Amino acid sequence: MAPRPHILVVNGRKVREPIFIIGAPHSGADLLARALKRSPGFHVTMGQGSVLGVVHAFAQSPSIHRGRGEAAATVLRDAFAQAWQVTAHACLTCSPACREAGGVNGAGACIAERDIVRYGDASPDLMYCAEELVDAFADARLVQIVRDGRDVVAAMLADTEVMAWFKPGAAKLDSEFPHPFFGVETAADLAAWPGLSLAGKCAMRWRGSVRAMARLRSRLAAEQLTTLRYEQVLREPEAAAAAISGFVGARVRPVAGGDRRRGLAGLPPAAAPGAWRRALSTQQMADVEQVAGNDLRRVGYGG
């Protein structure tokens, strides 16, 4: 007999069809989260402490949850039960990006409890818990976002928090193999890792993420998982909003920053598609090609 679905109640409401946004670092999950946070009825978190602690524990040490589906699902449900609580001080434990997106200054909440209809999360590195999210919430809706790996690498190289994962001792590759967080999948990857440049290591992380997302697409039904491209979200924000709205069954506002009529006005240069052409050196581009060239072309970024 199949186990009965777990019912999570937060703020006096059953959590139904929660929405999780996943992708490699700097792939645009935060943009989609902002759009959801600005849409009526959505309570979406982005880096709440209780969730980040679990996500990064699972990401750093995948063996602690590998093969322990129900235990991992319970830990995640507990983390979200805390993260989604609406109290006077709940938003103080969220990330600055989440607080800014919710228009929170000081104490207070980004949404009134009575207005909540749907819950969601777009915490950094959430994708490394994707399968456990589905175990925790059988009716979850996952939105994957894919961005040109070269732009992802350029953005990662400029992010001190992301680059801290590559410091000596941070990657536990001797005791954790395979290691999805770093994209190390095979013995050849493991042997190559110490000699890779930082650009090459970023490229391996991106490559691992798009491969993981492809595996998710093969496992989950179309009504539970959808995939968007970062570039299309920016260039066709209304169409992207319509696609997400249809997928989640609720109205979602367009992503801010992109506009079909005005181009990509208002975006910082590093966020514009093709920024890698200015940001990466010739050697860095060669390193990315060596590690992830085949995957770039497989997912349509060969130009």
Nearest CA to 128 out of 51, 221, 232, 203 is that of: 51
What distance in Å separates the CA atoms of residue 303 and residue 293, rounded to the nearest whole number? 11
- Per-residue confidence (pLDDT) for residue 264, from 0 to 100: 56
Residues 179-193 have a mean pLDDT of 96
Q: pLDDT by residue (tens digit) across 113-170?
A: 888 999 999 999 999 999 999 999 999 999 999 999 999 999 999 999 999 999 987 8
- Per-residue confidence (pLDDT) for residue 261, from 0 to 100: 42
What distance in Å separates the CA atoms of residue 173 and residue 155, rounded to the nearest whole number? 24
Angstrom distances, CA of residue 133 to CA of 29, 78, 111, 203, 221: 16, 12, 24, 25, 15
Residues 58-75 have a mean pLDDT of 84
Nearest CA to 29 out of 127, 128, 96 is that of: 127
Please check the confidence at residue 111 and state whether its pLDDT lies above 90: no
**Architecture of the structural domain at 9-298:** 3-Layer(aba) Sandwich (3.40)
What distance in Å separates the CA atoms of residue 66 and residue 179, rounded to the nearest whole number? 11
- Per-residue confidence (pLDDT) for residue 263, from 0 to 100: 44
What is the residue-wise DSSP string for 244-263?
A: HHHHHTS--PPPTT-BTTTB
Please check the confidence at residue 2 and state whether its pLDDT lies above 50: no
- Per-residue pLDDT band for 254 (boundaries 50, 70, 90) equals very high
- Per-residue pLDDT band for 105 (boundaries 50, 70, 90) equals confident
Please check the confidence at residue 1 and state whether its pLDDT lies above 50: no
pTM of the model: 0.92
Would you kindly state where each structural domain of the chain is located, as residue ranges?
A: 9-298
Going by the DSSP 8-state scheme, the letter that residue 85 receives in this structure is -
